[in-house]
Amino acid sequence: MITAIVLAAGVSARFGDEIKQLVYVGKKRMIEQVITTLVESDVDEIIVVLGYQAEKIKEVLIDYDVRFCYNPDYQQGQSTSLVAGLEEVDDETTGILCMLGDLPLVKKETINQLISEFKSGEELIVVPEYKEQRGNPVIFARKLKKEMLEVRGDKGARDLLVKYQTKVNEVLVDDSGVSFDIDTKADYERLMKVIRDQFVDS
């Protein structure tokens, strides 16, 4: 069983006055696009971690087959949201897929590729690699949950990739979306250009 934890609790101070998770990416809001991709993938369970503007984001996702949890400490960094989500993970889960709420271009085929690699291999961590650069989402084996619950700061479980570097499966993917997260308005404008170009080419 693969459980996805979607980190969507942050303030996104670098993005300006708008709620980053709720800006439109094509016809859907950013967080809605992320969830749609996960729902259409081979993920078995989706947990959405909310914090800043939680009710507004929840309202957009209310019709999706997801579970919500609230992180009251969201201002203290990404790790607090990861911990909040981990505490809700089903006991039957074998793999925990950590998904950023601002990664709207990741393809469902990529997620399925990562899940397939995780299920067929013995590595503790599966991470996508595009053009020699690691990206997201990342799948962690359930046996790492205890250590993941101990992470602190604003870097998620990144240190575990170093600690268990011999147990990491770097999966080559044909998907630039794995490294296309949106932190600033400039990132968002670049994203919209990519979407416009894809529309013109299609």
Domains and their CATH numbers in the chain:
2-201 (3.90.550.10)
pLDDT value for 202: 39
**Rounded-to-5 percentages of helix, strand, coil across the chain:** 45, 25, 35
pLDDT value for 91: 87
Quick: pLDDT tens for 145-201. Answer: 999 999 887 666 888 999 999 999 999 999 999 998 888 889 889 888 888 776 444
pLDDT value for 200: 44
Greater confidence (3 vs 200) lies with 3
Greater confidence (97 vs 15) lies with 97
Give yes or no for residue 63 having a pLDDT over 60.
yes
pTM to 2 decimal places: 0.93
Quick: pLDDT tens for 97-155. Answer: 999 999 999 999 999 999 999 999 999 999 999 999 999 999 999 999 999 999 887 66
Q: How far apart are CA 18 and CA 15, in angstroms?
A: 7
- Contact criterion met (CB below 8 Å) for 196 and 136: no
Taking each continuous run of H as one helix and of E as one strand, the counts in the chain are 7, 10
